[in-house]
Chain A
């Protein structure tokens, strides 16, 4: 048994595969009444049933042999995704007719995918590029499987489109309504979010530097700032809409208020982060307040400031979108979401959410990249 190294995922996958064989066809046949009144049965998976079982069993068996990890991972990767692709491709036209074997096979393919990720995460390559690639590939496979399972289950079980559209339909909707989505992004993100984010974070930063200069102000503002960051500030949205009208200015105002306090609290904490030794050193250099601030204390505060900028990047998006629920011109992401929900165009809502998620991730990613460039000296950046 020296050449065998069983894993529970592969064994379970084989067992599920065998049960699926015993249970019979993958999906129920469809009576194509339109083509022939006599009622011809159209069977799904006519050509691919053998292929699906073959690929699944082969991949599971090969993965248990004592072969190099990287080969095992590649075999599992190809096997799992080929089976998933065949399963999803075969269900086209037979939505909602899937039987138990369909879901068993899907689970088996998913187990192989899991095994693939497990093998990949046990790899410890020496080359730096390979480690970076692994760090990206592992979550990517995980994310891909969420989409695969979502697609296969919604179509296999025939979940109503209104409840949960499959990802492919959402993708098609995104591709089909790019101009509308673009206009919404311009209104919500490029007008309200960016302006509010810059002004709110800037105001918080300046207030923090002022508060740092005046100890009395700091002692008073810090507890209040901490307190306020626990409050549901989003509730000021209706007031801002009342004051500044329906256009983007009111959304920017909400964003300013939401981003102000995290920045204030974090910057004040960051300005206190430089040690006594360093400050004493600056004093021996006879540096003034501003020199100490610019050359020592602000760089030392940078990790805290970037932490606030990261928190604010998500808060700003949330603030702008929620503020649009309270009144907006006929464009904007929050407006689109609330009206399309009312019209039951759920795929459009999901498209908008996908765009918002993408925008949020890009926003966060840009801040994180700038942070790496600015705080290159910090242990958390050097170590990784």
Chain B
């Protein structure tokens, strides 16, 4: 009951507030254009008619929530999955490069973190550059990576996945360095007294200690990876994917399409973060973790 009172009611009421505000703004923002239309058609609408019309324009400035919902439902459930207007198809295209990039990024991040923890030279020379690498707006580099790789014949999944990799390795590296260093001196000393080798200390102490850190940073990484995949689709000239859907919507002013693509992207992001979270909990339980 406590979670109901402490969480559900505030969250739902604020979400409801957002929806109401959305409707209000939809009416306000769409009114000037609607008045313009009416004047050209020599019609005078009453106030309630005006509101009704502003909420059902084909290309509104701000589509009303129900328009987005209808568009999202149509494009998700009513279209055949193979159609390139289907959101499921586009989400799948984005998802596949997200997952590939995320897998590469996680592997790369773990390898770099292991190197940094074990090789002092790498720790002092590489770490500052890894932090600096994230101040580079890599998303700005995305079009070049895609065009250049396309020029030498690599296209499709790999270039997009590379951008996702670049965005997702950083949180994993930082989290894993923290995690692999998280065992206390006491525990490390205990391993010493057992005469444990470096690899034994690594596998039996450092790796288990780092697992919670790994999953926390993987949640951040998977979200970053999705952003990378979406932006990676922009310069490919709107072939397929959620980013392509956004770009096509922007070209043809199909604002409802843009919004429903955004909703689809958000749903994918939420699902990905949830899956990583669940996987983390399962691994935690399998390793004998107790709920804190």
Instruction: Please report A residues at the B interface, Cβ cutoff 8 Å.
Output: 114, 117-118, 121-122, 135, 138-139, 141-143, 146, 162-164, 216-217, 219-221, 223-224, 227, 229-232, 234-239, 241-243, 313-314, 317-318, 321-322, 325-327, 333-334, 337-338, 341-342, 346, 349-350, 352-353, 356-357, 360-361, 363-364
What residue of chain B has the Cβ atom nearest to residue A320's Cβ?
Answer: B137
A118→B121 contact, CB < 8 A: yes
Q: Which residues 215-272 of B sit at the A interface, judged by CB distance below 8 A? A: 219, 223, 226-227, 230-231, 234-235, 242-243, 246-247, 249-250, 253, 255, 258-259, 261-262, 265-266, 269-270
Q: Which residues 98-154 of B sit at the A interface, judged by CB distance below 8 A? A: 120-121, 123-129, 132, 134-141, 143-144, 147-148, 151-152
Q: What are 5 A-B contacts defined by CB distance under 8 Å?
A: A139-B127, A231-B269, A238-B249, A357-B136, A361-B132
B121→A114 contact, CB < 8 A: yes
Given A224-B15, A230-B273, A341-B143, 20 additional A-B pairs, CB 8 A: A139-B127, A219-B7, A219-B10, A221-B14, A223-B11, A232-B223, A232-B242, A232-B269, A238-B247, A238-B258, A239-B262, A243-B29, A317-B137, A325-B143, A346-B148, A350-B144, A356-B136, A357-B135, A360-B136, A364-B135
Q: Is B49 an interface residue (CB 8 A)?
A: no
B143→A337 contact, CB < 8 A: yes
CB neighbours of B124 from chain A (8 A): 117, 121, 135, 138-139
What residue of chain A has the Cβ atom nearest to residue B141's Cβ?
Answer: A353
B265→A231 contact, CB < 8 A: yes
Q: How far is the CA of A318 from the CA of B132 in the complex (A)?
A: 14
A219→B11 contact, CB < 8 A: yes
B125→A139 contact, CB < 8 A: yes
A231→B266 contact, CB < 8 A: yes
Size of the B side of the interface (Cβ < 8 Å), in residues, is 59
Say whether, besides A220-B10, A232-B265, A235-B246, A321 and B259 are in contact (CB < 8 Å).
no
Q: Is B75 an interface residue (CB 8 A)?
A: no
B125→A235 contact, CB < 8 A: no
B113 → chain A, closest Cβ, in Å? 17
Q: How far is the CA of A114 from the CA of B269 in the complex (A)?
A: 41
CB neighbours of A163 from chain B (8 A): 148, 151-152
B261 → chain A, closest Cβ, in Å? 7
Q: How far is the CA of A321 from the CA of B273 in the complex (A)?
A: 26
Q: Which residues 27-45 of B sit at the A interface, judged by CB distance below 8 A? A: 29
Q: How far is the CA of A352 from the CA of B148 in the complex (A)?
A: 16
Q: How far is the CA of A216 from the CA of B255 in the complex (A)?
A: 34
Q: Is B6 an interface residue (CB 8 A)?
A: yes
Say whether, besides A219-B11, A232-B227, A338-B143, A241 and B250 are in contact (CB < 8 Å).
yes
A219→B246 contact, CB < 8 A: no
A158 → chain B, closest Cβ, in Å? 14
Q: How far is the CA of A326 from the CA of B148 in the complex (A)?
A: 21
What residue of chain A has the Cβ atom nearest to residue B125's Cβ?
Answer: A142
Q: Does more than half of chain B's interface fall in helix, strand or loop, or is it mixed?
A: helix
What residue of chain B has the Cβ atom nearest to residue A361's Cβ?
Answer: B135
CB neighbours of A138 from chain B (8 A): 124-125
CB neighbours of B67 from chain A (8 A): none
Q: How far is the CA of A361 from the CA of B144 in the complex (A)?
A: 21
Among the listed A117, A220, A242, which residue makes an inter-chain contact with B11, where contact means beta carbons less than 8 Å apart?
A: A220
A242→B250 contact, CB < 8 A: yes
Q: How far is the CA of A317 from the CA of B127 in the complex (A)?
A: 22
CB neighbours of B197 from chain A (8 A): none
Q: How far is the CA of A294 from the CA of B197 in the complex (A)?
A: 52
CB neighbours of A241 from chain B (8 A): 250
CB neighbours of A234 from chain B (8 A): 139, 227, 230-231
Q: Which 10 pairs of residues, A with B, have the shortest CB-CB distance?
A: A220-B10, A238-B250, A360-B135, A220-B14, A142-B125, A219-B10, A357-B136, A139-B128, A230-B223, A321-B140
Q: How far is the CA of A219 from the CA of B12 in the complex (A)?
A: 11
CB neighbours of B125 from chain A (8 A): 117, 121, 138-139, 141-142
Q: Is B61 an interface residue (CB 8 A)?
A: yes
Q: How far is the CA of A216 from the CA of B269 in the complex (A)?
A: 27
Q: Which residues 260-289 of B sit at the A interface, judged by CB distance below 8 A? A: 261-262, 265-266, 269-270, 273
Q: How far is the CA of A327 from the CA of B234 in the complex (A)?
A: 12
Say whether, besides A314-B135, A318-B140, A338-B143, A122 and B246 are in contact (CB < 8 Å).
no
CB neighbours of B195 from chain A (8 A): none
Q: Is B82 an interface residue (CB 8 A)?
A: no
Among the listed B13, B143, B258, B262, which residue makes an inter-chain contact with A220, where contact means beta carbons less than 8 Å apart?
A: B13
Among the listed A135, A223, A326, which residue makes an inter-chain contact with B7, where contact means beta carbons less than 8 Å apart?
A: A223
Among the listed A318, A342, A350, which residue makes an inter-chain contact with B139, where contact means beta carbons less than 8 Å apart?
A: A318
CB neighbours of A313 from chain B (8 A): 135
Q: How far is the CA of A342 from the CA of B147 in the complex (A)?
A: 8
Q: How far is the CA of A122 from the CA of B120 in the complex (A)?
A: 8
